[in-house]
Each structure stands twice: as C-alpha cells, then as structure tokens.
Structure 1
Amino acid sequence: MKNNNIGCFGWGIIIFIILLVVSYWQVTLPLAIIGAICWYFYEKSPKTQEKKKKQAAAKQVAEEERQKQIKIWETEDLSQYATKLTDVKLKKTEYAIYAASEPITWSESRTRTKRINYGGLTSNVHIMKGLNYRAGSIRTVSQKEEYMQDVLTGALALTNRRIIVVNGDKAKSYPFTRLLRIEPYRDGTELISDSGKKVILSGFKDATRFNIYLDRVTSD
C-alpha cells in the first residue's frame, strides 16, 4: 500500500502556495481565469473530442476481447494443459494445468497476543513516613490480533489437486481438501481453510485466469 501522508514538508509547501496566491491575488486570479478558459476550449475542441472517442472505442474493444477470453477460460478443456513439474514431485494422478508468469508471494495469517496492564479504581493508602501503597486491583488483559506474514515468493503452479509455490529448495503447498472458500481479486487470491486460517497469493499482473481455473478444479 502506498503511503498518502505528505508530511510536514508537504503541508509547508501547500501553505506557502496558498499564502502566495492570497498575497498576489491581483496576478494569480487573472492567470487562473485565463487558464480555465484555455482548458475549457481545449476540452471542447474537435481534435480533443475525437481523441476521446478513439480512446473510448479502443477501451470498449479491449473489454470485449477480454470477455471473450474469459468465456474461453470458463469452458475450455483444462486437460489440454496437463503437464508434470520438474521442481516438484507430483502424485501419480496429479498434473499441473497452470503456471504463473510472474513471482507470486505466499502470505499466511498469524495471531499475536498483546498484554496490557490494566488498573482499576485505586487510591493511595499511607502506611508510614515515606511509604504508601495503592489500594485497588491490577490485572493483565490479553488482546489477540491477526496479521499477514509473507512466507515465500516464488513460482506458482496450479495442479488438479493443490496450489504450489516453489523457490529453490523451499516450497509451500495448499491441498484443496483444506479449502473452504475462495475470495478472488484482480491481482490475487485469498484462500480460507475450514479452520479459518487464511493464505493470500499476491503479485499477479492479472489473476483472472488463475481464479477461473482454481474455481473450476475445486468445483469438480
């Protein structure tokens, strides 16, 4: 995620610009009006309108082609892609049907416990000169929070039985027997097991094909 906090320096620049505009409004106001008029006529010019029409048409064509491709992924025979892997020993009836073209990061949900000392209503009780104690109660409160931990980044393969991520001699495997629910995203996938544990696969330029294949092989 990107950090949108511009910081003190950024706010200082913004305040400086505002003060500059207010101090020299006799100059900045006419310039702003002229700029707005120029922008309006530029946006309404035939050349700009034609450019926008071409961009919209190209975008529509691209979307139509994408929908056609999605239909193919949803209906094609996946056995045509069946292959064995060189880095991982597959089971006798297991075969790979998809391999990601980019490195994929495997992240797992973890739980950590924070301990907070909490004191209830208290009062100071004097015992003798220089010695007091607090009358009341104190206890430790535990709070659990869930976070995602990056575990492995490597080559991803989807087989008819599981998801595999491999990097050298390290590998992670997610058999479909553990899978309860899939949350597909444009750039990744969230896998939720029957125990509630989560695994997130991220790093896809476009995870649509992977998500469609995954849904198909886990629905058979």
Structure 2
Amino acid sequence: MKNNNIGCFGWGLILFLGLVIFSWAITLWYISIPIIIIAVIIYFHRKNNPEIQQRLKEKKAAKEQAEHERQELHQRNIQKWQTEDLSKYATKLSELKLKKTEYAIYSPDSQITWSESRSRTKRINYGGLTSSIHIAKGLNYRMGSIRTASQKEEYMKEIVTGALALTNKRIIVTNGVDAKSYPFTRLLRMVPYNDGVELISDSGKKVILSGFDDATRFNIYLDRLTSE
C-alpha cells in the first residue's frame, strides 16, 4: 500500500518552490500578469464552450466504453481458459527434450525471469554486554552468545531469463544456454499475480516467475494442470 504522507521534506520542498514562483511572479510582473490573464481566458473559454465540452464528454465516454469492452473480453477469456480442453494445445517442442508422455501446453510471448529464494548470514553488532576475559596472549573471551552476532535474511536471486514452456508435467524456462524446470510434484501451493506467480515447494523454497504482460492465462492453466 502506498503512503500518501509526503512528510516534512516534501512540504518544505513545496513551500520552497512556491516561494520561488511567487518571487519570480513579483519580480517579473510584466510577464507573469499577461500569462495569468491568458490562462484565465483560455480556461473560461474551454469551460463555457459547448463544442469543446461536448468533445471532452465524447472522448471520456469512448474511453470508458473501450475499458468496459476490454474488461468484458477479459472475463470471457477467463471463462474460456477455465473450461476449455487443454489437450488440444498439446505439442512437442523441437528445442526442448520432453519426456515421452510430456507435452507443451502454453508458452507466453514475453521473456520470463526465474528467481529463487536464497538465504545469507548477515553480521550484526553485538548489542549486549561487552565485557571480555583475557585468556592468553592475543586471545580474549567475549561475554555473551555468538548467536546474537549474526542473523539470516532471505532474498530473491535471478537465475535465468528466457522462454517459458508450461507442459502437462512441469514448468520450463530456458534461454538456449541455461535452463530451469519446476516439476509439479514439488509444488505445494502457488500465489498468482497479474504479472507473475510465486511457487512454493513443500520444503518452503520459493521460486518467482515474473515478466508476464498478463499472467492470468498461465496461472489458470497451471492451477488446472496441478489440480486435475
């Protein structure tokens, strides 16, 4: 969720710009006053001109109609993708070595990025007692637990970007040099997004596929193939 609070710095910047514009308008009044007058005339002309207002209304109505038609088409496509026979798309791909009973069902036009979850240990400063005991020359025993001196954090690492193929058994992403595959047997659950999907295995490892123009069709097919 976006934060609409611009903060003190934002208000300070707005105030500063306002003062600059105001001082410019006062100093160059012979330029700013005609500009203001012209702007006011144009505003009221557009506001009170029936032809301009009619064109604006027609443009707005056309835009709303186009959006309505786009949403209706999208809903019809969703209903189709949820019920159509996926076997009619089954095909072999010459660039991929698929298993004997494996067939490609869907491939998006866009390049897809495969990212995997990784964990790394981050060193942090010890926040407890800092006393130490001298043991031998050059060696001191530090009081406290070593577990407080480091912590693990998770991050996503991009592995490969390339063409995606959704088969009846797995997901494949390849660029001709590197390739990754995700068998359905590993999938515990999926989290769909408009432009991608998050795959979570039974071990808790995450794989994120991103870069779709619209991932709706892919997510529906994936859900069906892993559920039916």
Shorter-chain TM-score above 0.5:
yes
**Aligned-residue RMSD, C-alpha:** 3.4
- Aligned-pair CA distance for 1:119: 4.8
Residues 1:147 and 2:155 are matched in the alignment: yes
Letter of the 1:210 counterpart: F
What is the match of residue 58 of structure 1?
A: 66
In structure 2, distance between residues paired with 1:106 and 1:176: 16
Letter of the 2:23 counterpart: S
Q: Counterpart of 1:93 in 2: which secondary structure?
A: coil
Deviations 1:151-174 (A, max 9, x none): 001110000110001111321010
- Aligned-pair CA distance for 1:217: 0.3
Deviations 1:77-134 (A, max 9, x none): 100010112222111111110012111100000001112231534579xxxxxxxxx9
- Aligned-pair CA distance for 1:65: 1.2
- Aligned-pair CA distance for 1:16: 5.6
State the TM-score, normalizing by the size of structure 1: 0.79
In structure 2, distance between residues paired with 1:154 and 1:42: 55
Residues 1:104 and 2:109 are matched in the alignment: no
- Equivalent pair of 1:165/1:171 in contact (CA under 8 Å): yes
Structure 1 segments unaligned to the other structure (5+ residues): 1-9, 125-133
In structure 2, distance between residues paired with 1:135 and 1:85: 63
Q: Counterpart of 2:64 in 1: which secondary structure?
A: helix
What is the match of residue 101 of structure 2?
A: 93
- Equivalent pair of 1:188/1:201 in contact (CA under 8 Å): yes
- Equivalent pair of 1:117/1:138 in contact (CA under 8 Å): no
- Aligned-pair CA distance for 1:187: 0.7
Letter of the 1:17 counterpart: L
User: Aligned residues, how many?
Assistant: 203
In structure 1, distance between residues paired with 2:57 and 2:90: 49
- Aligned-pair CA distance for 1:19: 2.1
Partner residue of 1:31 out of 28, 36, 43: 36
State the percentage of identical aligned residues.
58
- Equivalent pair of 1:122/1:135 in contact (CA under 8 Å): no
Higher strand share: 1
Structure 2 segments unaligned to the other structure (5+ residues): 1-9, 133-139
Letter of the 1:146 counterpart: E
- Equivalent pair of 2:129/2:144 in contact (CA under 8 Å): no
State the TM-score, normalizing by the size of structure 2: 0.77
Which residues in structure 2 correspond to 1:182-197 (within 5 Å)? 182-197=190-205
In structure 1, distance between residues paired with 2:93 and 2:129: 65
What is the match of residue 137 of structure 1?
A: 143
